[in-house]
Amino acid sequence: MKIPAIKKLVETQEVHALMAAEEAIIEEQPLAIEVDGDDEGEQLTHILAAIWILNHMQETGDDFKTSLREYTKKVRVSIS
């Protein structure tokens, strides 16, 4: 997971475009948007994080940094 790649998606894409990219990866189709990542797994991680962060920002009014912090807390809990 690379924070700059997630930030780029949050700043440049809408949720619907990210959801379409998620589906494209799952269906092994080419992406309509540019997503940084070493492989499809990392690209999917960046897409899912950006979707979560954008939704969190909209629901709470928090900024990117706060929403990113909340996302990383959630990830840490899930892997521990």
Q: What is the pLDDT of residue 80?
A: 82
**Where in the sequence is the domain holding 52, given as residue range(s)?**
3-79
DSSP notation for the chain: --HHHHHHHHHH--HHHHHHHHHHHHTT---SS----SSHHHHHHHHHHHHHHHHHHHHH---HHHHHHHHHHHHHHHH-
Q: What is the pLDDT of residue 35?
A: 98
Kindly report the pTM of this predicted structure. 0.93
Mean pLDDT of the chain: 96
pLDDT tens track for 11-27: 999 999 999 999 999 99
Number of domains in the chain: 1
pLDDT tens track for 53-67: 999 999 999 999 999
Q: What is the pLDDT of residue 55?
A: 98
